[in-house]
């Protein structure tokens, strides 16, 4: 894969430390990661490996202790809290494990919420939510409330919400956590095709290795570092079918990036 000139995500020596300075706990211990437009990346790894911390940092919900992080050309370190809020609603799309949707808004209203928050809901953008939901197979559920939708339908509404405002980066936190196998495959494959189609950069944190077959790259994290990266479609497919993930990094990170 050839990196573009302006990658959507670019981190270097990214560290996040907790606790006192003498004995810090390093949730991120130097992460270098580049994700390009149109690329869908899975971040996998055991609990405590730092994948959730990485996601939160990319989402501007955590500030790194050191290192640099650029998303959509913006140095996140230089943003104030209110700037980060604006950055999140304009440049980032989100899906979460739980509490994904606003319970008192319909499917369509939940998706439109991103446009409302950004102040971009108007005549031109009004049909977007419906079109996107229709594309996700929810054309007849536009006016349903979240508690009238199945888990898979709710995830798909969340995906529509994560894409409707044309964000540069889409972050998905365990999107299949509450879904059965069939639904999980359906949700992630649709997600992947929309990301590719719309030319977004997507990062999905998952513990479900079966889902990696839809991504372009698998980043395995361990102890706050990138332990290995898989890019070869055949290797990714093997991983999805149960083959062990190579534990060591096959080549220096720099070589992969370059």
Partner 1 sequence: MSLYLASKEIWRNRGRFLLFSLVVALITMLVLFIAGLASGLSAANREYLSDLDAQLIVYQENSDYLINASRLPMDKAPDLGRIPGVEEVGAIALTNAAIWPAGGGEAFDITLIGVEPGKPGEPALNSGRGLRGSRSREAIIDKRIAEELRLAAGDTLTIKSTQGTQEEFFTLTVAGVANRQYYQFLPSVIVPYRTWEQIRPQETEPQADAEFIPNVFAVKLQPGVDAAEAQAAVLRTVPEVLVADLQTAIESIPGYSVQQSTLNTQRFFTLLIGLLVLGGFFQIQTLQKIGQIGMLKAIGAANRTVAGASLWQIAIVTALGVGLGGLVTFLLTLGIPPEVPLQLTGATIASTTLLLLLIGPLAGMVSIRLAVRVDPLTAIGQ
Smallest distance from partner 1 to CB 165, Å? 9
CB atoms within 10 A of CB 150: 13
Question: Closer to partner 1 at the Cβ: 83 or 232?
Answer: 83
Pick from 14, 114, 157, 218: which binds partner 1 (CB under 8 A)? 114
Question: Which helix (H) or strand (E) segment is 225 a member of?
Answer: strand 225-230
Minimum Å gap between C-beta 97 and partner 1 is: 6
Using alpha carbons only, what angle is made at residue 199 by residues 175 and 131, rounded to the nearest 5 degrees? 70
Tell me the CA distances in angstroms from 96 to 122, 206, 210, one per residue in order: 27, 11, 19
Coil vs helix vs strand at 99: coil
Closer Cβ to partner 1, 85 or 193, answer by number: 85
| Position 25 contacts partner 1 (CB under 8 A) | no
Q: Please provide residue 26's backbone torsions phi and psi, each rounded to the nearest 5 degrees.
A: -100, 100
Q: Name the β-bridge partners of 171.
A: 94, 203
Q: CB of 232: closest distance to partner 1 in angstroms?
A: 29
Q: How many residues bind partner 1 (CB under 8 A)?
A: 33
Burial of 183 (0-12, 13-18, 19+ CB in 10 A): middle
Q: Is 1 in the site for partner 1 (CB under 8 A)?
A: no
Q: Quick one: 65 or 246, whose CB is closer to partner 1?
A: 65
Q: Between 105 and 253, name the residue whose CB sits nearer to partner 1.
A: 105
Is residue 79 a contact point for partner 1 (CB under 8 A)? no
The residue (of 144 and 231) whose beta carbon lies closer to partner 1 is: 144
Q: Return the range that interacts with partner 1 (CB under 8 A); candidates 69-77, 97-105, 181-189, 248-256.
A: 97-105
CB of 110 to partner 1, least distance (A): 10
Name the nearest CA neighbour of 221 among 17, 49, 55, 47. 49
Half-sphere exposure for 55 (CA within 13 Å, toward CB) = 27
C-alpha–C-alpha distance, residues 61 and 92, integer Å: 12
Show the site string, 35-74: x = touches partner 1 by CB under 8 A, - = not.
-----------------x--xx--x-xx------------
* 18 touches partner 1 by CB under 8 A: no
Q: Which of 196, 219, 212, 118 has its CA nearest to residue 164?
A: 118
Cβ proximity to partner 1: between 91 and 225 the closer is: 91
Subset of residues 147 to 186 that bind partner 1, contact rule: CB under 8 A:
161, 173
| Two structure tokens written together for 92 | 């980032």
Which residues would be at the binding site for partner 1 (CB under 8 A)?
52, 55-56, 59, 61-62, 82, 85-90, 92, 94, 96-100, 102-105, 109, 113-114, 116-118, 145, 161, 173
């Amino acid at each position: 894969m050839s990196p573009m000139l302006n990658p959507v995500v670019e981190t270097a020596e990214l560290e996040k430390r907790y606790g006192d300075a003498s004995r810090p706990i390093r949730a991120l211990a130097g992460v270098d990661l580049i994700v390009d437009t149109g690329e869908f990346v899975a971040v996998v790894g055991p609990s405590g490996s730092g994948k959730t911390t990485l996601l939160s940092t990319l989402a501007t919900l955590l500030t790194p202790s050191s290192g640099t992080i650029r998303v959509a050309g913006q140095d996140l370190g230089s943003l104030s809290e209110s700037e980060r809020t604006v950055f999140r609603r304009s440049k980032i799309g989100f899906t979460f494990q739980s509490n994904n949707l606003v319970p008192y808004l319909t499917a369509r209203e939940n998706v439109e919420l991103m446009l409302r928050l950004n102040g971009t809901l108007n005549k031109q953008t009004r049909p977007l939510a419906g079109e996107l939901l229709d594309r996700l197979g929810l054309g007849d559920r536009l006016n349903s409330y979240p508690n009238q939708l199945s888990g898979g339908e709710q995830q798909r509404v969340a995906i529509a919400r994560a894409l409707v405002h044309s964000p540069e980066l889409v972050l998905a936190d365990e999107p299949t956590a509450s879904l059965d196998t069939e639904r999980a495959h359906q949700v992630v494959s649709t997600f992947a095709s929309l990301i590719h189609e719309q030319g977004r950069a997507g990062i999905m944190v998952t513990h479900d290795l079966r889902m990696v077959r839809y991504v372009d790259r698998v980043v395995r994290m361990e102890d706050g570092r990138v332990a290995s990266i898989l890019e070869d479609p055949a290797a990714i497919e093997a991983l999805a079918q149960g083959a062990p993930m190579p534990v060591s990094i096959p080549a220096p990170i720099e070589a992969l990036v370059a």
